Amino acid sequence: MAKKANITKVSDKIKKVNDVFTVYFFDNGYGIEIGGKAETDDWKSVKLMYHSFDELVECIKDISSMERAK
């Protein structure tokens, strides 16, 4: 059984998210870009890349569980 890789989550980077994000399709994976608020309450933009569709879905699940920035 393959060991599950640790993936970087949006919640590792920002504490609150905007209500819009963008998904990118690359030849070698997927990307996601979203803005929100950091721990310091400053606005921040996050761009992450994933190698598989399953990793991208996990990222979207993470985003959907986060508090929205106002």
DSSP string over 29-59 = EEEEEEEEE-TTS-EEEEEEEESSHHHHHHH
Q: Identify the pLDDT of residue 64.
A: 96
Q: What's the pTM value of the predicted model, to 2 decimals?
A: 0.84
pLDDT in tens, 16-66: 999 999 999 999 999 999 999 999 999 999 999 999 999 999 999 999 999
Q: Is the dihedral of CA 39, 45, 23, 19 positive or negative?
A: positive
> Count of residues for the chain?
70
By C-alpha distance, which of 56, 1, 7, 66 is closest to 35? 66
